[in-house]
Amino acid sequence: MPALTFSPAVRSLKPSATLAAAAKAKELKSKGVNVLDFTLGEPDFNTPEHIRKAAWNAMEAGHTHYTPSGGIMELKQAVCRLYQRDYGLTYKPSQVLISNGAKHSIHNIIAALCGPGDEVIIPTPYWVSYGALVELTGATVVLVDTTEASGFILSAEQLERAITPRTKLLLLNNPSNPTGAAYTPAQLEALAKVAVKHNLLVLSDEIYEKLIYTGSQFRSFASFGPEVAALTILVSGVSKAYAMTGWRIGWTIGPVELIKAMDNLQSQETSNPCSISQYAALAALDGPQDSVEEMRVEFEERRNYVMDRMRPWRQKYGVTFAEPGGAFYAFFNVAALFGKPLAGGVTVSNATDFCTALLEKNHVALVTGDAFGAPGYVRLSFATSLDILQAGLGAIEDFMSGK
């Protein structure tokens, strides 16, 4: 076999750190180790029954063939109804593209818009795939650091300072993975004003829009008037709100010309998203919404439990964090523990080593903040049962106190 040489884009590509951390935890589990796994951001609930039934019915009805590459019209119409119903936003189906999960939507948007010479602004901490997907196109990532003190919120001033004549896109994630930060309407409006002033396109990843906790409020970035809506490319999907990660359905809502360009790309790349999943997503959007709220309430209970357990860590271990207003992640800074003896006397000097030692010694799997552009931090996904959270937080505390 000839020596394999890879394209420059793929040569520098790293695997998704979240998926890699989950795979590492699974590997250890397969060796019989009882790993307490908080790596993946995916609801632990089963997909609601009426959605599963709709998938079965779709197969029985013969919806097992290719669909239009950009998705079935019924689902595009259902997405339009959803935004009208929930946010009072009016869209036409020609502004909607259905893709193989929101990750694929984001990839398609960036691939359709960006190339060498373009700059894409990404606030840190950022979701692991953002930077990689921008770099794949040859465009330049411009990171803007947000701080724990500001609740990991990008300010209008920071955004304005980062804009150059080469800026193509702002990548905004609200509520945020990995920080759980939920922007207030006023904070979003301030960013929207800057976007309008500079005619800046904003990719607003709102995949956690339905997972908002008491005290926080969700507003879609597109809801600040027609000028803002015209610059906004919305991304969301069924993975988080309906516990449908495996079905792989996400969507983009944006200008008709962009949707057309992305559809061309998708028709060459993947053809349509799974036909059966599209009918299941249709049932999710049009069917009863009670399960969305039921799951949100459970996530809020878990969030409150995690925060109650973690607050004393500030005093005891010097761990710092901002409390999440949405999504299902606790993101905390463990730098105060670097150089100090942890379980078994081990010492670490960065968050990646902290996670490795925690997994090896106390069998708890977290994701390092290094993967999110946030050195010193670690991410815990609380999309798991209270029992496992209880055991896991105890084991993390043991690790930090040297047990």
Binding site for ligand PMP (CB under 6 A): 41, 101-103, 127, 173, 177, 205, 207, 237, 239, 245, 250
Q: How far is the CB of 129 from ligand GLU (least distance, A)?
A: 6
Give the integer Cα–Cα distance in Å for 217 and 395: 33
Q: What are phi and psi of 358, to 5 degrees?
A: -65, -40
Q: Which helix (H) or strand (E) holds 376?
A: none
Query: Does residue number 235 form part of the binding site for ligand GLU (CB under 6 A)?
Result: no
Cβ-proximal residue to ligand GLU, closest one: 41
Tokens of 214: 């008491």
Q: How far is the CB of 42 from ligand GLU (least distance, A)?
A: 6
Of 39-47, 50-58, 137-145, 161-169, the window that binds ligand GLU (rule: CB under 6 A) is: 39-47
The one of ligand PMP, ligand GLU, none whose footprint includes residue 40, by CB under 5 to 8 A per kind, is ligand GLU
Of 12-20, 116-124, 190-198, 266-274, the window that binds ligand GLU (rule: CB under 6 A) is: 12-20
Residue type, 382: F
The position carrying tokens 């829009």 is: 209
Per-residue CA distances from 25 to 33, 200, 219, 363 (Å): 9, 41, 36, 9
Based on CB atoms, which residue is closest to ligand PMP, 245 or 304?
A: 245
Query: Does residue number 103 form part of the binding site for ligand GLU (CB under 6 A)?
Result: yes
Q: What are phi and psi of 28, to 5 degrees?
A: -65, -40
Please name which of 225, 208, 278 lies closest in space to residue 68, comparing C-alpha atoms: 278
Based on CB atoms, which residue is closest to ligand PMP, 245 or 289?
A: 245
Query: Does residue number 336 form part of the binding site for ligand GLU (CB under 6 A)?
Result: no
The one of ligand GLU, ligand PMP, none whose footprint includes residue 173, by CB under 5 to 8 A per kind, is ligand PMP
CA angle 19, 24, 30 (to 5 degrees): 120
Based on CB atoms, which residue is closest to ligand PMP, 348 or 374?
A: 374
Show Cβ contacts of residue 337 under 8 Å, excluding neighbours closer than 6 positions. Answer: 317, 318, 319, 348, 354, 400
The position carrying tokens 């919305």 is: 234
Based on CB atoms, which residue is closest to ligand GLU, 77 or 129?
A: 129
Based on CB atoms, which residue is closest to ligand GLU, 241 or 259?
A: 241
Tokens of 87: 């946010």
Based on CB atoms, which residue is closest to ligand PMP, 279 or 329?
A: 329
Q: How far is the CB of 365 from ligand GLU (least distance, A)?
A: 12
Give the integer Cα–Cα distance in Å for 89 and 81: 9
Binding site for ligand GLU (CB under 6 A): 16, 18-19, 40-42, 103, 128-129, 177
